[in-house]
Amino acid sequence: METNNKKSSIKTVNPFTNKVEKEFEVMTDEEVDIVIDKAAKAFNTWKNVSFPERAKIIHKVASIMRERKEALGKLATIEMGKLLRESIYEVELSANIFDYFAKNAEKFLADHSLETEKGEAFICYEPIGVLLSIQPWNFPYYQITRSAASNLMAGNTMVLKHASNVPQCAQIMEDIFKEAGLPDGVYNNLFVPGNAVGKLVSDPRIKAVSLTGSEAAGASIAAAAGANVKKSTLELGGSDPFIVLEDADLDKAAETAVYGRMWNAGQVCVSPKRIIVPESKKTEFLNKVKVIFGKLKVGNPLDADTDVAPLSSEKAAQDVEKQIQKAAQQGAKIELGGKRLDRPGAFLEPTLITGVTPDMDAFYEEIFGPVFVLYSYKTVEDAIKLANATDFGLGGTVLGKDIEKAKAVARKINTGMVYINHVTGIAPELPFGGTKRSGYGREQSPAAIYEFVNAKLIRVTEPDNLY
């Protein structure tokens, strides 16, 4: 592990100004060992705390977050650049998720009786130990919440390796847990660089791993977890299709697609990245999209009238600009935008691209920025084929007035989630996760709490009645 950095890699760089706001020292091997040991010891007591007692603490976490949503939102905006209203919404959503699991965990993990011809059998659910949660920067509170809410209520303890560019959000969440009364060691931050993660996964005190991140990071973590016989869940990239059916309201479709794509400056795994419209309506739809693009205001994410914020970092803006340039070089048409803005900060023009074909890199890559790529189809079967022409399978959208037809199309899209007449969204009670190279496992909903518990069978019978 790197512990002698002259300049820490754990720091807040405000993407609106590209200036360093705060730095944190990278933990030494000894400090990391102490944190993990503390989490392992805390598990021995936390697992025996009753559901009502756990719930009281987790409800308090939600309450504190709501009370301080403006301050928490501003911190997230300063750290990774999203619009202030989006940051505040994220805080509120996170509070709702904490409340959801505080309210329902005991019911979800109640013993489950099994039908058997003789005797009695049931499943009981037990926590397994310390969870390593590795999370990205694009939703600094929500990403923590997705793994923390269900697993803390299940009786597991947790160590968090958050993204290195949002350390203050990571720290303030640990502070809130402590203020709410969570016992010492149950939830812990690790300020370490990304190259330290492999060592963490192999630590025998870590019993499971949850990661949200890139496909490459997911493959590495899955391999490390598998080598150590540990369960993992992965939420990786997405290249979500957005299919507009013939009977859809084009005005609504255009507005939903544009603002859905510009959400968090396009840095959302489940934002619509491939908009697919009928060939007969492509020109009309394109013109409507251009009108909306013309109204978008790029600027200070703290201003209420800003529509598009900077990207999370200077490198992120540079990387997306390179993807756009390569698409143009390979023959795609840049209808609007495509360039950096002549101003300080990690800004990129909202970009509209057409003419992307399967022989171009942009057809297969996830573009994590404010880039709207438009495709067209002749038949619904062509639209479905285009929607599935990717190794990713996270979310998707179908827009149409005939709901039964939209459902039929949704069933044929190979993703973990499909929303009808709405971009792929988030709610505490709805499962979140993908298939194919977008990962495996589910967060939120009842499904989340079963990912990292031992479903133990208890069988009651007489010796001569075993079978």
Which sequence positions are flagged as catalytic? 235, 269
Alpha helix (H) ranges present in 109-249? 142-154, 167-180, 197-202, 215-227
Write the CA distances from 111 to 433, 443, 458, integer angstroms.
26, 21, 10
Residue 300: closest CA among 61, 114, 83, 86: 83
Sheet strands (E) in 300-418: 333-336, 351-354, 371-377, 397-399
Q: Which two tokens stand for residue 364?
A: 């297969």
The SS3 assignment for 131 reads: strand
Say if strands 157-161 and 130-134 run parallel, antiparallel, or are unpaired.
Answer: parallel
Say if strands 120-127 and 206-212 run parallel, antiparallel, or are unpaired.
Answer: unpaired
Element (H, E) at 195: none
Tell me how far apart the alpha carbons of residues 12 and 137 are, in angstroms, rounded to a whole number.
Answer: 11
Contact 165, 82 (CB under 8 A): no
The angle at the Cα of 164, spanning 181 to 68, to the nearest 5 degrees, equals: 40
Alpha helix (H) ranges present in 263-402? 282-295, 314-329, 380-387
Element (H, E) at 259: helix 250-262
Tell me how far apart the alpha carbons of residues 121 and 128 are, in angstroms, rounded to a whole number.
Answer: 21
